[in-house]
Amino acid sequence: MKIMVIGAGQMGGGIAQVMAANNHVTYLNDISMELIHKRVDFIGAILQKNVDKGKISPDQRMETLSRILPTISLDDAADCDLIIEAIVENMEAKASIFSKLDLICKPSCIFASNTSSLPLTEIAACTNRPDRVIGMHFMNPVPVMKLVEIIRGLATSDETYEVIKQLAKDIAKVPVEVRDVPGFVSNRVLQLMINEAIYCLYEGVATPQGIDTVMKLGMNNPMGPLELADFIGLDTVLAIMETLYHGYGDCKYRPCPLLRQYVKAGWYGKKSGRGFYQY
């Protein structure tokens, strides 16, 4: 299967790595070749660590890297069998990408979105192939996490679902079918916990370290919710909370004012050097 991953960020790079490691020729697309090469270098470094640990051979590393093809042109998607979009969590941006790809890609090509909260039915409506549009929500970091939420839009065909379900299994992931509702399962539950942790900080209940320690030692979470929010990106957390808030119309999803303030300050978490912690 020939694949194009749109977006060379943390998620897109991880998806490209996994696909290439499982023998799929994979275009990695973004707006800048510099960004793409930086991500490919990062993937190479991760694979080298796996070589050093004896998990893969040097030849496997080189073969995986050889299957990742950097490109800034969407035209290279013309002969692809699958597109996996992993760009910013914004409906207008996703709709624009898929509308362009709809004119470029062959009719049989499947469009998958790695959206973490946006409705697949609305994304599909931006194309002339809604039966071949589906959600493929990977968890971060993609090479490590086993889960893939598979979200069917209103018009997604059984054939499309079965192809993507089998692909998930082929790359050693565990697919779970989820209804097309805001936040699906993962973020509907997770983001509420993160938002409530932010409210605890906002109300002075405990320090960031205290809140995270309670959740790690008391609930056996591998990361505290504030640390995790920094890792995800506070701008992304806010975007997901906004989607949940507007999608359900329920005040329990109202983003904490402190979250909004941090995002306005440019404190996005690890990627900006400052969030609830400094990096």
Is 23 annotated as belonging to a binding site? no
Distance CA 161, CA 134 (A): 7
Give the other-Cβ count within 10 Å of 107's Cβ.
Answer: 8
Catalytic residue among 116, 117, 195, 227: 116
Longest dimension (CA), the chain: 55
Check: CB of residue 241 under 8 Å from CB of residue 247.
no
Both tokens of 136, joined, read: 């493929």
Both tokens of 71, joined, read: 């490109």
Is 157 annotated as belonging to a binding site? no
Is 210 annotated as belonging to a binding site? no
Catalytic residue among 29, 137, 195, 227: 137
Active-site residue, 187 included = yes
Is 7 annotated as belonging to a binding site? yes
DSSP per-residue codes, 188-240: HHHHHHHHHHHHHHHTTSS-HHHHHHIIIIIH--SS-HHHHHHHH-HHHHHHH
Active-site residue, 23 included = no
Is 90 annotated as belonging to a binding site? no
Burial of 193 (0-12, 13-18, 19+ CB in 10 A): middle
What SS3 class is residue 48?
A: helix
Active-site residue, 186 included = no
Please, what's the b/e burial string for 158-170 (b: 16 or more CB within 10 A of its CB; e: otherwise)?
Answer: eebbebbbebbee
Residues whose CB falls within 8 Å of the CB of residue 112, separated by 6 or more in sequence, listed in order: 82, 83, 84, 85, 133, 134, 135, 136, 164
Active-site residue, 159 included = no
Is 116 annotated as belonging to a binding site? yes
DSSP symbol at 72: S
Scan for tokens 């998990």, then name that residue: 55
Catalytic residue among 113, 114, 117, 187: 187
Distance CA 38, CA 36 (A): 5
What stretches of 90-132 adopt beta strand conformation (E)?
A: 110-113
Beta bridge partners of 174: 147
- Cite the active site residues: 116, 137, 149, 187
Residues belonging to the binding site are: 7-12, 30, 89, 94, 116, 140, 271
Residues belonging to the binding site for NAD(+) are: 7-12, 30, 89, 94, 116, 140, 271
